[in-house]
Amino acid sequence: MLERLVPDEYVASVFDIDLEGLKKRGIEGLIIDIDNTLVSWETKTADHRILEWFTKLERMGFRICLLSNNTKDRVVKFTEAIRIPAVYRAAKPRKRAFVKAMAAMGKTPSTTAVIGDQVFTDILGAKRLGLYAVLVMPVSGREFFTTRFVRKIERMLLARMVKEGKLVKPVGSRVI
């Protein structure tokens, strides 16, 4: 079970992801979480840096689908300016939404990576389907009460993974 919680990569932010490295691995599709992966959960739209990053992804030939446990209203508002397919109320880590996101991109598990900020939703969901998993540090420390509680467990788990050599602490990271 613990192996399903270990990300393939752990980086400080989406801007630190080795996109060329993903391409070399055969990754063509990216399933990306929104809240605290791209923007803080209270931020309604993507800022210019995220918009530029999406443009770069598309120029590199990546297909993208956003995947969020948040509501339809929140996800639709976020995607208005970027016109990227999205799945809302995903119930991550359940498999169904990840499969739906891959179908929206026309990709398979061997050509898809998941990018997210939570081990118990994004990484576990990716690993359950054999997807490449990239964990990013949360954009903001402001989170729902329940998420803050889970983060405490996550920090202990990540510290253990680093100590056991299963994971490398991101360069420039604040705290694991």
Q: Which of 3-7, 52-56, 138-142, 159-163 is least confident?
A: 138-142
Report whether pLDDT(173) > 60: no
Report whether pLDDT(143) > 70: no
8-59 pLDDT, tens digit per residue, is 999 999 999 999 999 999 999 999 999 999 998 888 889 999 999 999 999 9
Share of the chain above pLDDT 90, in %: 65
Helix (H) / strand (E) containing 115: strand 112-116
The band of 144, judged by pLDDT with boundaries at 50, 70 and 90, is low
Report whether pLDDT(96) > 60: yes
Can you give the pLDDT at residue 86? 95
Query: DSSP letters of 33-66?
Result: --BTTTB-TT--S--HHHHHHHHHHHHTT-EEEE
26-40 pLDDT, tens digit per residue, is 999 999 999 999 998
Pure H helices in 16-144: 19-24, 48-59, 72-79, 95-105, 124-128
CB neighbour list of residue 1: distance below 8 Å, 6 or more residues apart: none
Report whether pLDDT(2) > 90: no
Cβ(133)–Cβ(126) below 8 Å: yes
| Domains defined along the chain, listed by start | 2-163 (3.40.50.1000)
Can you give the pLDDT at residue 42? 82
The band of 175, judged by pLDDT with boundaries at 50, 70 and 90, is very low
Residues facing residue 67 across a β-bridge? 87
Report whether pLDDT(94) > 70: yes
Neighbours of 124 (CB within 10 A): 20
Q: Give residue 89's region: left, alpha or beta (phi > 0; psi -120 to 50).
A: left
The band of 172, judged by pLDDT with boundaries at 50, 70 and 90, is low
Q: What's the pTM value of the predicted model, to 2 decimals?
A: 0.90
